[in-house]
A and B are shown apart, each in its own frame.
Chain A
Amino acid sequence: MAIVDKSRVYIQDVSLRDGMHALRHRMDLDRLREIVAALDDAGVDAIEVTHGDGLSGSSFTYGFGSHSDLDWIEAAADVAKTARITVLLVPGIGLARDLEDARKAGAASVRIATHCTEADVSRQHIKVARDLGYDTACFLMMSHMIEPAALLEQARLMESYGAECVYVVDSAGAMLPDDVSARVNALRGGLKPETEVGIHTHENLHHGVANAVAGVRAGAVRVDGSLAGLGAGAGNAPIEALVAVFDRLGLKIACDFVKLASAADQLVRPLMDRPVRVDRESLVLGYAGVYSSFLRHAEKASDDYGIPTTDILVELGRRAMVGGQEDMIVDVALDLAKAERAG
């Protein structure tokens, strides 16, 4: 189940998945329905709805969700008329059997995400997803950490397991347009023609939209964005701006950016208990190449242990922590507090 209309860019919203990080995985069902209805009405192709860390991400480590994934997915599927409901699954956190439940609840597409060097842990999940009839895409998280040729090798593994699309994922918001072009080019040139390439960006270096444009120019056909940029770190490419820019570039799209901008202002901005923006903390994420979802956990550890958030983030980067290692944030804060007492 690849892209339906191959003549235009496929717009994937992530407000209700990546955006969950920014809201600490708290999302009311009524509010979720309003947002899904607005996105659907504005013409987005797909709407991702899951805990920020994917199916079964609800935990002490990543934050407990206010609702179960299945409650959110059912509510979204109930409202969406044309948009596909998408889920995220991170092997090692969620299980292949979670995909069965999510499918029954109404999910039609999935992104299976691994760290950019660990694609071979996704084999069983990709197979299960394909067998369940999902539109099956894969995420190579923290793609900035390896060179394009190495990224292609990993993408080829996912393709060989059955992935219909592989995304270059700038989880740390650390890439610049040339970095995106090089990676998307490598995947586009090295994967089978029928395997699609996607691009997922963050705004930490204020390049979310520019990077998405670079991705599309290099051959990406699926692009992620979120209302008002609601997402981890400084957020994702704001979907309303993304669509407006694509429109100006003359790309064929099926979305109405004015409707998206209204939904961003009226439905999403009021939910933010911490502004999603490029500020000192989120800028450090991008500059140091640190996983964007660490932000709010590091801010809590900063409050609990009296260590500046930026110090914690820089140390996490120095230790080469990858996505999912949120448990190490408190460990780092405790080490820094010890060093401060000793110093």
Chain B
Amino acid sequence: MKQKVAIIGSGNIGTDLMLKIVNGSDRLEVAAMVGIDPDSDGLKRAAALGIATTHEGLDGLRRLPSYPEIAIVMDATSAKAHEAHHPVLVADGKHVIDLTPAAIGPYIVPAVDISDHGEAAAVNMVTCGGQATVPMVYAVRRAVDRLIYGEIVASVSSRSAGPGTRANIDEFTQTTARAIEVVGGAERGKAIIILNPAEPPMIMRDSIFTLSQGGDEGRIRASVADMIERVQDYVPGYRLKQDVQFERIGDNAPVRISGIGEVSGLKTSIFLEVEGAGDYFPAYAGNLDIMTSSAKAVAEHWAAGRAG
């Protein structure tokens, strides 16, 4: 039997998530689609698919007859709305997957740490840039003795950056940087986001640069290749765009890293491309696709645990 889930938020992210589950999950069933705008495209599509809907937000969800059977709730609203939803859902005994930048629950990046969290009360999906790059940071971390620094640049098409991201761009960089440290295992993390307005829109690109000590190039290369495959399990359009590049930073020309001081070591450069599956978003919006794909992967993992 499929595990029933509810999606709160009938905007772009929520709708793409719904379509991903409807079209491609043998473990999950969308039992409710929750919005606040009865005219939203997401609620209309849900109704057309025979999914129970409400435009009365969380209160509406809690009144639905199927609510007691729903174990997992995925929140694709906003950080502010999620802060209000979180305590209610947890008190109701739901397992919460938060796709907003609220970051109340611990960060989760499926390829790195999905089994560490079991079926947690609540997890947070970091950011799109975090989902794309933290697996690579961790891939270097596990192949070396010391991962001093991880830096990422996420370039996304202007069209795929919504008003929420634009109004709070610091939330993106700070949350991603923290996840590079907490989940990726770097002593110091830095994140940069670039919006590119080119037409036709560019496919999401991510570059990862690390500085490490006590590892060799062959082990790093193999670890990266393995991790790429792990992410591809749930994000098919996740690709290594170039061979992994290496550069020795010698003691004669160390780099000065904020919070660490002058250090030397091995610089690793990893260049990725993330193409979306095109469920609801166009394929260039790999940044949005990797969020919904990762959230779906977490819900499926939990559902598999329940099925025993």
A interface with B by C-beta (< 8 Å): 56, 58-61, 64-68, 91-93, 95-97, 115, 117-118, 120-121, 123-125, 319-322, 324-325, 327-328, 330-331, 334-335
Could you show 24 A-B contacts with beta carbons less than 8 Å apart? A56-B190, A58-B258, A59-B192, A60-B209, A60-B269, A66-B256, A68-B256, A68-B258, A92-B194, A95-B173, A115-B197, A117-B158, A121-B166, A121-B169, A121-B195, A320-B196, A321-B196, A322-B196, A327-B209, A328-B155, A328-B205, A331-B205, A334-B243, A334-B271
- Give every chain B residue within 8 A of A115 (Cβ-Cβ): 195-197
Nearest residue, chain A, Cβ from B167: A123
* Interface SS majority for chain B: strand
Measured CA separation A321–B153 after assembly (Å) = 13
Is B213 an interface position by the 8 A CB rule?
Answer: no
A97 to B205, CA, bound (A): 27
Q: Quick one: CB contact mask for B158-181 with A, threshold 8 Å, 1 for yes? A: 100001001111100110000000
Q: Are A61 and B170 in contact (CB under 8 A)?
A: no
**Does B304 sit at the interface, judged by CB under 8 A?**
no
Instruction: Report yes or no: A95 in contact with B170, Cβ–Cβ below 8 A.
Output: yes
User: In the complex, what distance in Å separates the CA atom of A119 from the CA atom of B308?
Assistant: 51
Whether A320 and B198, one on each chain, are in contact in the complex, defined by CB atoms closer than 8 angstroms, is yes
Residues A118 and B195 in contact in the complex (CB < 8 Å), given A64-B255, A96-B170? yes
Q: Is B225 an interface residue (CB 8 A)?
A: no
With A and B bound together, what is the CA distance between A255 and B226 in angstroms?
61
What residues of chain B lie closer than 8 Å to A123, measured between beta carbons?
A: 166-167
Least CB distance from B23 to A in Å reads 32
Residue of B with least CB distance to A61: B153
Query: In the bound complex, do residue A93 and residue B192 qualify as a contact, i.e. CB atoms below 8 Å apart?
Result: yes
Let me know if B197 and A61 touch, CB within 8 A: no
Chain A residues within 8 Å of B241, by CB: 331
Q: Cβ of B196 and Cβ of A325 under 8 Å apart?
A: yes
A338 to B213, CA, bound (A): 30
Q: Which residue of B lies closest to A62 (CB)?
A: B192
Shortest A98–chain B CB gap in Å is: 10
A117 to B201, CA, bound (A): 14
B44 interface residue (CB < 8 Å to A)? no
Name the one of A60, A120, A125, A330 contacting B151, with C-beta atoms under 8 angstroms. Answer: A60
Additional A-B contact list (5), CB under 8 Å, known A59-B192, A117-B158, A330-B245: A58-B257, A60-B269, A121-B169, A330-B271, A334-B243
Interface centre among B153, B167, B190, B211 (most CB of A within 10 A): B153
State whether B158 touches A325 (Cβ < 8 A): no
**Beta-carbon contact of A124 and B194 below 8 Å:** no
* Interface membership of B252, Cβ < 8 A: no
- CB-contact partner of A60 in B158, B193, B194, B267, under 8 A: B267
B247 to chain A: closest CB distance in Å? Answer: 8
Measured between beta carbons, the chain A residues less than 8 angstroms from B245 are 330, 334
Complex alpha-carbon distance, A68 and B195, angstroms: 26
A236 to B154 alpha-carbon distance, docked (Å): 29
- C-alpha spacing A295/B21, complex, angstroms: 46
Contact of B207 among A58, A65, A97, A331 (CB under 8 A): A331
Given contacts A60-B151, A66-B256, A93-B192, whether A331 and B169 have CB atoms under 8 Å apart is: no
Report Cα–Cα, A61/B149, bound state, in Å. 13
